[in-house]
Structure 1
Amino acid sequence: MMLTDVTSCKELVARFRESVPADKGLLLDFGGCVVQALCSTDTLRDELAAYFKEFVTPSGSPDIVVSAHEADPPETGLDFSVKQPDSGKTKIKEEWADLEDGRVVRKRLTGMHFVFGQGENATIGPCLANSNQVINFINNRFIEWKLNLGGLLGHAAGVAHHGRGISLAGFSGAGKSTLALHLMSRGTTFISNDRVMVEQNGNGLTMFGVAKQPRINPGTALHNPDLCNIVEPDMRRDFLAMPPEELWRLEHKYDALIDECYGPGRFMLRHTMNALVILNWTRGGGSMKVSMVDPLERADLLAAFMKDTGLFYLPADPERAKGPDVGDYARMLGRADLIEISGGIDFEGASTVCLHYMATGELPENQL
């Protein structure tokens, strides 16, 4: 569709809702936030229902409405700005245009358009061929909703056990997702794979996860009996023949569906957050060390948890446009325990430490 005179998100979405109606509905409960996904095709609605099956709900008044319109990539004539690649990357993937009432993000490779602002949330383009992008957009609407209520965004996984919850963060390549899945094999409940939103709850904290299934590398899958069957038998032989360092760096991902790998009822999106565990370890770093630290004194560790909100966030309050600083994170995280795990990488040892903490609220004495 050629649209050369669009000046607002509301107008852009209205044209597609008229020409490509999205009337196939799905309700999702994301930790108390009800999201209504409206699709223009039954196929996409069914695909979203299968992916989000742990969170489908039969009823509820939606807090967020997202519509997905199957169409050719639209020609809007908008003057897009290029989003520069993240540090260490070279490929330009996205561009955006800010309109009077919101933002339009265009994916360069697929032509998918994502429209959001002032209550309008829509995906337009070849949605069926890019359902993963639709899934990510739905999750991003939930993230924005929570942040606009005053939460902070963390780059972390999350698990819970015995009524206590922990977030797991780490510097690049530290293995927070791998540790989370090790803990899942030992009985925990999954909260989130890569993002958490944290908000104050009285004197403590509540964390909210994102309904995104873990994507793991072959090394993580091969060394976890609950995950090893994800890898094809012929590929398993090739991966096992690789040097450990090469396998660790390999850019090849598998979806680890929580209910299929660990059983139903093991994925929830809301829990108290009693501690943040920072993986500050390295390969060949000797014996693993564990210590309880003060976030106000160890701002260097908080960089592992702090996360930029990115293109898909528009603050409801202009005062939040500059984003939180390290002091904001330190004050918020001061309401929970901050645990540093340093020395050498030891997923089994770290799992034991985390499980002991979730059972008792304390670190094991032999690790202090």
Structure 2
Amino acid sequence: MSARVAALAEKFLREAPLTQQLGLRFGDTRIDVRSNSAALVAKLRDYYRDFLGEGGIADIEVAAIEREAVDIGLPLAPKTPEPGKRKIKEEFLDLPDGRVVRKRLTGLVCLFGGGLNLIVGPCIANDNQIVNFINNRYIERLIKRGCLLFHASGVAVGEQGLTLAGFAGMGKSTLALHIMRHGTDFVSNDRMMVERDTEGLVMHGLPKMPRVNPGTVLHNDSLGPVIPADERERFLAMPAEELWDLEHKYDAFIDECFGPDRFRIRCRMKALVLLNWRREKAPLSIARVDLTARRDLMPAFMKELGLFFEMDAETRGRDMSEGAYLAMLGDCPVYELSGGVDFEAAAVFCKNLLAP
């Protein structure tokens, strides 16, 4: 195919000068975001309020063009939904110099490859997807330098952190926010990149606010600012089971709920905690496990790279198998939480794990 990502991007960039700029710093990575929309940059500046970082040479450059949804006229293939899901959310096409991904519901088109990162379409109305695109560029950078991707949340005390994972619907983000009530810092909501250096494991989170359901908010007093009072009353009247399964999410800004300077995205990894509990009246059970003998727990935290990762020749040869995860974790303590769901008891256990 003669089409190229760079040529497609050049056409959009000619039509929309990028006059607005935002500098971000995620750990040791500086990101430069440019746009034709002051409103979008203002939204992103507020969202990334804890990660602003103007000045210096950018490690990652991202462009976001606000305009109506576009049809790029290329034969995009649907992305097969994850197991247990039916809805097709994205379609994509690989070109010689990168990849094109289109969000079916919003019409946003993402172009990336060879250092080019561009998202085009109704960005302001879908700023959460712009956040995801920026964060995915950061994930890609860390994976390419040797990290493995975990489907996990994380909290920390001082320089020591816990990576929290679990099977679908187990409540890893809810647990992280319960642990936050005990004075920890927040590290990440849904993705963790883990690498090993000469001193042990390092966990890298994402600057993405936890997206919580009403049930999580109602059972955590610290999350009071998340839901308006009138909506809170409606949710309080719902049965517990219905509330648990409700697909209605809110952004929980860490500074608004727990105070300033409580969000970090890098620390040492002290342990991995896996949620494998059930919604039933049974005591919580906590046990240290050996993953080499409990391979059934591996899917709880292993995560495929997905559509928003540029698989270059070097990365294509990387080992991202179960064996690679086991080797990465090495002698890292791993705990399984089974039995009945008990967020508060689990939070106390996790806080004690982080005690000096």
Is TM > 0.5 for Structure 1 vs Structure 2?
yes
Q: Which moved more, 1:225-234 or 1:38-47?
A: 225-234
Q: Is the 8 A contact 1:69 1:127 kept in 2?
A: yes
Q: Is 1:164 equivalent to 2:160 in the alignment?
A: yes
SS in 1 for 2:14: helix
The match for 1:79 among 75, 78, 83 is: 75
Superposed CA deviations along residues 302-321 of structure 1, whole A, max 9, x for unmatched, are 21000111111122335536
Q: Is 1:287 equivalent to 2:267 in the alignment?
A: no
Note closer, same or farther for the CA distance 1:38–1:130 as it changes in structure 2 (3 Å cut): same
Q: Is the 8 A contact 1:203 1:335 kept in 2?
A: no
2:46 alignment counterpart: 50
Give unpaired runs (5+ residues) of structure 2: none
Note closer, same or farther for the CA distance 1:226–1:17 as it changes in structure 2 (3 Å cut): same
Instruction: Give the letter for the 1:74 counterpart.
Output: V
Note closer, same or farther for the CA distance 1:149–1:285 as it changes in structure 2 (3 Å cut): farther
Give unpaired runs (5+ residues) of structure 1: 361-368
Q: Is the 8 A contact 2:225 2:256 kept in 1?
A: no
Shift of residue 356 of structure 1?
0.8
1:18 alignment counterpart: 14
Instruction: Give the letter for the 1:167 counterpart.
Output: T
1:340 alignment counterpart: 336
1:200 alignment counterpart: 196
1:365 alignment counterpart: none
Q: Is the 8 A contact 1:148 1:316 kept in 2?
A: no
TM superposition score normalised by structure 2: 0.96
Instruction: Give the letter for the 2:68 counterpart.
Output: D
The match for 1:352 among 344, 348, 356 is: 348
Shift of residue 6 of structure 1?
6.9
The match for 1:307 among 303, 309, 320 is: 303
2:270 alignment counterpart: 274
Q: Is the 8 A contact 2:110 2:117 kept in 1?
A: yes
Segments of 4+ moved more than 6 angstroms: none
2:116 alignment counterpart: 120
Q: Is 1:188 equivalent to 2:184 in the alignment?
A: yes
Q: How far apart, CA to CA, are the structure 1 residues paired with 2:130 and 2:39?
A: 13
Q: How far apart, CA to CA, are the structure 1 residues paired with 2:323 and 2:124?
A: 43
Instruction: Give the letter for the 2:119 counterpart.
Output: T
2:221 alignment counterpart: 225
2:320 alignment counterpart: 324
Q: Is the 8 A contact 1:296 1:334 kept in 2?
A: no
Q: Is the 8 A contact 1:164 1:359 kept in 2?
A: no
SS in 2 for 1:273: strand
1:104 alignment counterpart: 100
Superposed CA deviations along residues 22-42 of structure 1, whole A, max 9, x for unmatched, are 131111111111111011121
1:61 alignment counterpart: 57
Count of aligned pairs: 356
TM superposition score normalised by structure 1: 0.93
Q: Is the 8 A contact 2:225 2:257 kept in 1?
A: no
Shift of residue 203 of structure 1?
4.2
Q: Is 1:138 equivalent to 2:147 in the alignment?
A: no
1:150 alignment counterpart: 146
Note closer, same or farther for the CA distance 1:224–1:242 as it changes in structure 2 (3 Å cut): same
Q: How far apart, CA to CA, are the structure 1 residues paired with 2:21 and 2:110?
A: 19
